[in-house]
Amino acid sequence: MTVSREKEAEIRRLFFAEHWKRGTIAAQLGVHPDVVARVIGHLGPRAHAGRPDARVLEPFEAWVDETLARYPRLVATRLFDMLRERGYEGSVVTLRRYVRQARPQPKTEAFLRLQTLPGEQAQVDWAHVGQIPVRGGYRALWVFVLVLAYSRACFAELVLSLDVHSLRRSLVRAGVALGGLPRQWLCDNAKTIVLERQGDAVRFHPLLLDLAARLHVQPRLCAPRRPQEKGGVERAIRFFKERFFAARSFHSLEHGNAQLVEFIDTIAHRRPHPRWPERSVAEVFAEEQSRLLPLPEPLPHTDLVTLVPVDRTAFVRLDTNRYSVPHTYAGRTLTLVASDTELRLLDGDQPVAHHAREWGRNQWLELPAHRAALVEEKRAARALKGRDRLRAEVPEIEPLFERWVDAGRNLGSMVARVIVLLDAYGAPAMREVLTEMVARGTHDPGAMAILCEQRRRARGDRPPRVVAFGDHVRERDVVPHDLGGYDE
Q: Could you tell me if 211 and 168 are in contact, meaning their C-beta atoms sit under 8 angstroms apart?
A: yes
End-to-end CA distance of the chain: 127
Instruction: Residue 464: count other Cβ atoms within 10 Å of its Cβ.
Output: 16
CA distance 177 to 186: 18
pLDDT of amino acid 378: 67
- Three-state DSSP class for 306? strand
pLDDT of amino acid 1: 65
pLDDT of amino acid 323: 95
Q: Which is nearest to 144 in space by CA: 120, 133, 160?
A: 160
Residues 459-479: what's their mean pLDDT?
A: 62
pLDDT of amino acid 46: 47
pLDDT of amino acid 113: 58
pLDDT of amino acid 414: 87
* pLDDT over 90 at 87, yes or no: no
- Choose from 54-58, 175-179, 199-203, 387-391 the range with maximum mean pLDDT: 175-179
* pLDDT over 80 at 53, yes or no: no
Residues 293-311: what's their mean pLDDT?
A: 93
* pLDDT over 90 at 355, yes or no: yes
- % pLDDT > 70, the chain: 88
* pLDDT over 90 at 114, yes or no: no
pLDDT of amino acid 143: 96
* pLDDT over 50 at 97, yes or no: yes
pLDDT of amino acid 47: 45
* pLDDT, tens only, 369-428: 998 888 777 665 554 467 878 888 888 888 888 888 888 888 888 888 888 888 888 888
* pLDDT over 70 at 272, yes or no: yes
Q: Could you tell me if 363 and 135 are in contact, meaning their C-beta atoms sit under 8 angstroms apart?
A: yes
CA distance 226 to 294: 31
Q: Could you tell me if 360 and 321 are in contact, meaning their C-beta atoms sit under 8 angstroms apart?
A: yes
* CATH number among 4.10.140.10, 3.30.420.10, 3.40.1260.10, 3.40.640.10, domain 121-289: 3.30.420.10
- Domain locations in the chain? 5-102, 121-289, 303-379, 385-488
Residues 150-157: what's their mean pLDDT?
A: 95
* pLDDT over 80 at 477, yes or no: no
* pLDDT over 80 at 474, yes or no: no
DSSP secondary structure letter of residue 181: B
Mean pLDDT for the chain?
A: 85
Q: Is the peptide bond before 298 cis (omega within 30 degrees of 0)?
A: yes
pLDDT band at 231 (very low <50, low <70, confident <90, very high): confident
